[in-house]
Amino acid sequence: MKILTRIIITLLLMVFITATVASASDVSWSQAEEKVTVFVGFNGAPDAGLVRRFGGEVRREFTLVPVISARMNPKAAEALAKNPHIRYVELDTPVYALQEVPWGVDRVFGPEDYFFPTWNYSRGAGVKVAVLDTGIANHPDLPVVSGGYNALDGTDRYTDGNGHGTHVAGTIAALDNSIGVVGVAPEIRLYAVKVLDDSGKGSVESVVAGIEWAVNNGMQVINMSLGASSGSQTLKDACDIAYAKGLLLVAAAGNNGNPPGKGDNVNYPAKYESVIAVAASDEAGKRATFSSTGPDVELIAPGVKVKSTVPGGTYATYSGTSMASPHAAGVAALVWAANSSLSNLEVREILQGTAEDLGLRAEHQGYGLVRADRAVAAALALGVPPEPGYGAIQGTVTDGTSPLAGASVVVKDTGLFGVTDEDGRYFIGHVPSGSFEVVASHPDCVPATRQVSVSKDATATLDFVLIRRPLMQAGDIRFAVAKRYGSFADITVTVVVLDSANGAPVSGAKVSVTVAHESRNWAFLGNTKSDGTVTFTLKKAPTGAYTATVTDIAHETYVWDEVVKSQEFVLN
Ligand code: CA
């Protein structure tokens, strides 16, 4: 999806795409009474006079193709189509700008195949999310704002004269339609609580008033893409009480970070224990250098170059932990919609437990990158009865001794799947009756397939014990001169792949190697033989220094241990 989306967006040309090409004798749409826009294709040069003689109002004469577009009566168009100068008459059809999935939304849904399955279970339907911000502007790509409040003047005028609040709202809930972007949870009920003025400034007074409004109006999730470097007893108490009353509070960690990521500079209210502090990551999975750091960082989410909605029906790309927080708030809404029986604490624990470790320090990423796919799977695993008329599958995935978190369990040929939570549990709802093959897989294990029979209104139990794959690593990288031609030579590069546990050669490993020389680079891909070796040949290679690097090793039953290994060689 990722690549496809980009290609589609690149092709955002206003090309006229016609749905069907009607032949001259097959103008079946001509039953309509109203005038329609048609393309009149000519066998030779276009003749506007001919179109006019059939009552057509000429709109455009194309120069690229021998075609005139015209508004005309369908019956007249049908008659015109029979004229010998006419090659075809066809109906104009609307062409829409295509919707883009912003990288951050794509990222929090995990591997590409999980995006739509997750949405099969939850799109955040009905969950009330309050955006405490600069307000929310009307936008064709946002849900109609269900209500709101202006905490600055006590009115219900919450329109956004800044853009910040509208951008945040779009990351949470931009609509899944054919335009613009899409948010994490497009079916939530969106509430605009204006606590910041059109210059983006507010006060503890306005924020507390906004939190109070959210509590009094039954909000479930509060997003606060705002903060201050100092706290306040009133703000802390307001957050603590809202949390105790069952709301989930999500806030931007702050943009006070420094490039080395040192110090404790998380903003308030994110810093309070009752609030989830969200740091910002970039597309490469690194902490944004501006993202605040410290022990109160709880989650990290995309916050660099985030495209979303802004006032005026348009879109803009912003960076900041303000952009990260709404990704987490949106996932929280998905979780709650997937399982409405959860408490705010349980939703929070799911976000923590299913976060993806980006390999960053805890003060930078907290539990890790918020993951919609895993979080929704975990929410479903917490015991939702199957929907009427359908069955469900539940169970655990372990390695025989401990639970495997993040294992995927796929019901073949159905598009249904589950992901295990921290306890190795999964739940797949909405399974039709029948017999299915179910595949459990985990990156460190050999996948396993089992059969299961699912009956209507019943939950089948299916546990998996996966075998951990042995680790392998690149052993020796050996250069040899196979044949000499003066200042050139055929050079062979042999890589040995070994089982890390016992040093035995691994057969059938797929090895990627690059060889660099000052004149050029080579890239090879090959499979190891039964002695664990694979050999590549550089034909008629010039003298000079060579560096061979194993960049990747893949195997069906092994996982690699230490992949990158280099070896130098000089051909004199
Ligand atoms: Ca959209």
Q: Is 70 exceeded by the pLDDT of residue 95?
A: no
Q: Write down the catalytic residue from 122, 322, 325, 408.
A: 322
Select the more confidently predicted residue: 57 or 421.
57
As a whole number, mean pLDDT of residues 438-444 equals: 88
How close is the Cα of 478 to the center of ligand 1, in Å? 54
Q: Is 80 exceeded by the pLDDT of residue 537?
A: yes
pLDDT at 256: 94
pLDDT at 480: 96
How close is the Cα of 223 to the center of ligand 1, in Å? 21
> CATH says 471-571 is which class?
mainly beta
Q: Comparing C-alpha atoms, which of 415, 401, 471 is closest to residue 443?
A: 471
As a whole number, mean pLDDT of residues 261-275 equals: 96
The reply to whether 517 belongs to the active site is no
438, 452 in Cβ contact below 8 A?
A: yes
Q: Is 70 exceeded by the pLDDT of residue 135?
A: yes
> d(Cα 405, Cα 397) in Å, to the nearest integer?
8
pLDDT at 392: 87
Share of the chain above pLDDT 70, in %: 91
As a whole number, mean pLDDT of residues 466-483 equals: 92
> d(Cα 99, Cα 5) in Å, to the nearest integer?
8
407, two tokens: 């294992």
Angle formed at CA 130 by CA 231 and CA 248, multiple of 5 degrees? 65
238, 206 in Cβ contact below 8 A?
A: no
How close is the Cα of 348 to the center of ligand 1, in Å? 27
pLDDT at 386: 60
Residue 59 pLDDT level (bands cut at 50, 70, 90):
very high
Angle formed at CA 473 by CA 472 and CA 478, multiple of 5 degrees? 135
As a whole number, mean pLDDT of residues 167-187 equals: 95
As a whole number, mean pLDDT of residues 117-142 equals: 93
386, 378 in Cβ contact below 8 A?
A: no
As a whole number, mean pLDDT of residues 355-373 equals: 94
Q: Is 70 exceeded by the pLDDT of residue 41?
A: yes
Which regions of the chain carry the CATH code 3.40.50.200?
Answer: 103-376
Domain 9-91 part of CATH 3.30.70.520: no
pLDDT at 383: 59
How close is the Cα of 414 to the center of ligand 1, in Å? 26
As a whole number, mean pLDDT of residues 513-536 equals: 92
Least confident residue range of 11-15, 343-347, 505-509: 11-15
Residue 67 pLDDT level (bands cut at 50, 70, 90):
very high
Select the more confidently predicted residue: 418 or 204.
204
pLDDT at 6: 30
pLDDT at 463: 97
- Strand 434-441 versus strand 408-411 pairing type: antiparallel
As a whole number, mean pLDDT of residues 232-247 equals: 96
How close is the Cα of 111 to the center of ligand 1, in Å? 21
Burial class (CB in 10 A: 0-12, 13-18, 19+), 532: buried
Domain 384-468 part of CATH 3.40.50.150: no
Strongest mean pLDDT among 7-16, 262-271, 434-443? 262-271
How many C-alpha atoms does 354 have within 13 Å on its Cβ side?
Answer: 34
Q: Is 363 left (phi over 0), alpha (psi -120 to 50) or beta?
A: alpha
Q: Is 80 exceeded by the pLDDT of residue 99?
A: no
How close is the Cα of 6 to the center of ligand 1, in Å? 15
Select the more confidently predicted residue: 329 or 9.
329
Q: Comparing C-alpha atoms, which of 472, 479, 482, 483 is closest to residue 528?
A: 472
Mean confidence (pLDDT) of the chain:
88
286, 304 in Cβ contact below 8 A?
A: no
Q: Is 60 exceeded by the pLDDT of residue 15?
A: no
Q: Write down the catalytic residue from 133, 141, 160, 373.
A: 133
Q: Write down the catalytic residue from 122, 160, 164, 308.
A: 164
How close is the Cα of 184 to the center of ligand 1, in Å? 11
The reply to whether 322 belongs to the active site is yes
How close is the Cα of 176 to the center of ligand 1, in Å? 5
How close is the Cα of 179 to the center of ligand 1, in Å? 5
- Strand 275-281 versus strand 248-252 pairing type: parallel
Residue 567, phi then psi, degrees to nearest 5: -145, 135
Residue 221 pLDDT level (bands cut at 50, 70, 90):
very high
pLDDT at 133: 97
Residue 13 pLDDT level (bands cut at 50, 70, 90):
very low
Which regions of the chain carry the CATH code 2.60.40.1120?
Answer: 384-468
For the whole model, what pTM was predicted?
Answer: 0.59
461, two tokens: 């139990």
Q: Is 70 exceeded by the pLDDT of residue 45?
A: yes
Burial class (CB in 10 A: 0-12, 13-18, 19+), 262: exposed
Strand partners, 567: 548
How close is the Cα of 164 to the center of ligand 1, in Å? 18
503, 544 in Cβ contact below 8 A?
A: no
Question: How far lies 229's CA from each of 195, 270, 373, in Å?
Answer: 17, 10, 33
How close is the Cα of 175 to the center of ligand 1, in Å? 4
Select the more confidently predicted residue: 5 or 31.
31
Q: Comparing C-alpha atoms, which of 191, 197, 231 is closest to residue 215?
A: 191
Residue 513, phi then psi, degrees to nearest 5: -135, 140
Q: Is 90 exceeded by the pLDDT of residue 268?
A: yes
How close is the Cα of 133 to the center of ligand 1, in Å? 21
How close is the Cα of 174 to the center of ligand 1, in Å? 6
How close is the Cα of 310 to the center of ligand 1, in Å? 13
Task: Give the residue carrying structure tokens 């690194």.
Answer: 286
Select the more confidently predicted residue: 23 or 51.
51
Q: Which CATH superfamily is domain 103-376 in?
A: Peptidase S8/S53 domain (3.40.50.200)
Q: Which residues contact 310 (CB under 8 A, 6 or more apart)?
A: 137, 139, 163, 166, 167, 170, 316
Which regions of the chain carry the CATH code 2.60.40.10?
Answer: 471-571
Residue 3 pLDDT level (bands cut at 50, 70, 90):
very low
The reply to whether 421 belongs to the active site is no
